[in-house]
A and B are shown apart, each in its own frame.
Chain A
């Protein structure tokens, strides 16, 4: 057995199984655990009620992001419920000796942005968080996925969860991406082909030259969206791009430890001849800038196309009609030219420096459309600082955009950043579910380039005309 070819996923998974339960899940060891204010308080309460402690507090890292305001972070948080969750996080992490990057801390930001940027996320690790977009960290060749609060309590108390091993899928995208086609478009394209449940039960490995040629930021965007096709997570084999990104980051290994880890990381690739339960291949040249028109991330299409007809899709016509009705769209509509009220750039999907560079590349020297409200929200203070250092801040300001402070913001609208009922928002985030960005809000998911083009023109616009 030991000589048979193994996938990257198998190598990492198998080395973390503490115990295999017959006709049951694996007892699965977790290297890194991220927590935030929303999905952790009940887990800590559970520890109290059971009278158990935190087994390895040094393996858990806390940041506040989900409900935090994105303006005036130096002032007390106004919403009492949010303030209480933030206070509980501070108290709970303090009590158990867990590192906590709360509001105002220079390392604070969205959990899936700050983990990698501080060198906490490393290849070959198992990483969980009570947040489905934990799949982001798979970009480093880690097995990373979202968990529920019961499992947060498991990790705190025993550093393990109980997980059946998922099936394996490989998604290959080969060739050269066209002008204006970003990692977000690649992900939305794949999801539109697989649907929101097409990868349920699987863990995905992304392979092919498109991913090999992608930056770490881009790989994080792609892996982040794995959950939107139902996959528990997605990962990409670490390579020189990965190692260069990690090297020198604060909590990354140094000196001899770096050399030792690097040697291990270089073994983390799928062996030739490995078998996947499912394998799918796409051509990069088939992908154009994408936009969604419905109420789940699988309802996306190339921006120049028309909304599909229900009869051309498999699945329930009534659910499809309900979705288009919510959006106020009709079959065969073109998305180009539809009025946009709000533009949101940010989130764990597209809140990294590369995303703001892309956004700035289009708004530079142009002006925001008067009727568009734009929320430009960096993923972390580190990203915010880069935006200033690289002159992006000045470009944004000259074009009429204000920069907000880091947090999840309008992606899930737990704070005040809510899209009003009936309004249309082009968002670089990850979910266009009904009411996701505020009750009654209508979300069009897209890349930072599409968001920038919409912000300038005030309508859905193909960004390629600006490039």
Chain B
């Protein structure tokens, strides 16, 4: 379904400096049994966040009230593994609107944009700068501008540009989705199918 549009987001961020965060960690398979898209945020990072008695683990970042915000910053190769869109739903439902990493897995990147989360890929050096700033000040803000395609560490002014194709950018800015686009060209698709 169409989602909230994304323009400029200024927020503190939650750091998760771990590499290869796979979608089984983001949302374990046993929580994929819903038939509606709701409530997945409760189980975001379930097994890192809660112990086997369902008590919050105090050493996990989401259980540390010092860190909050609408931006999740992860280590290299974020979102690898399963194609489950539930991973993106869980991140969105928890309240994140942007994920920053130095490298994203393909399917996760696509799923994120399709549900209204902006994946921002930065250089390893810039990622390191972000982690360092948050370590210094957990409330350090990042500003992500989709129109400008830039991400800025507000306190230092350090900034980097990021890539997104023009079509997806237009969609996110306006809250449009691919299904709307495809519905509008159904006749063309039917003709294509007929000529195959």
Interface residues of A (CB under 8 A from B): 18-19, 21-25, 27, 29, 38-39, 41-42, 45-46, 49-50, 52, 55-56, 66-67, 79, 81-82, 84-85, 88, 130-132, 134, 146-151, 153-154, 157-162, 164, 166, 196-197, 200-201, 227, 230, 232, 296, 315-316, 318-319, 322, 412-414, 421, 431, 433-436, 439-440
Contact = CB atoms under 8 A, between A and B. Distances in A.
Contacts of B110: 148, 151
Contacts of A154: 178-179, 182
B179 A296 contact: no
Given A153-B179, A435-B24, A197 B76 contact: yes
Contacts of B193: 29, 56, 159
Nearest to A294: B20
Interface string B67-107: 00000000111001111111010000000000000011111
26 contacts: A24-B165, A24-B166, A27-B185, A41-B36, A42-B37, A42-B85, A67-B33, A132-B107, A146-B83, A146-B107, A149-B86, A150-B177, A151-B110, A154-B179, A158-B183, A160-B189, A161-B178, A200-B105, A230-B77, A296-B22, A322-B18, A412-B29, A413-B30, A435-B47, A436-B24, A439-B47
A56 B86 CA distance: 26
B7 interface: no
A148 B83 contact: yes
B49 to A, nearest CB: 12
Contacts of A150: 85, 111, 114-115, 177-179
B80 A158 contact: no
Interface residues of B, number: 57
Interface centre among B29, B85, B115, B165 (most CB of A within 10 A): B29
B136 interface: no
Nearest to B82: A132
Interface of B: 1, 17-20, 22, 24-25, 28-30, 32-37, 47, 52, 75-77, 80-86, 88, 103-107, 110-111, 114-115, 165-168, 177-179, 181-183, 185-186, 188-190, 192-193, 196
A452 B22 CA distance: 28
A413 B29 contact: yes
A319 B189 contact: no
A82 B36 CA distance: 13
Contacts of A431: 22, 24, 81-82
Contacts of B83: 39, 130-132, 134, 146-148
Contacts of B190: 55
B188 A19 contact: yes
Contacts of B107: 132, 146-148, 232
B19 A315 contact: yes
A92 to B, nearest CB: 10
Contact of B35 (A56, A84, A412): A84
Given A19-B185, A25-B165, A148-B111, A46 B1 contact: yes
B106 A296 contact: no
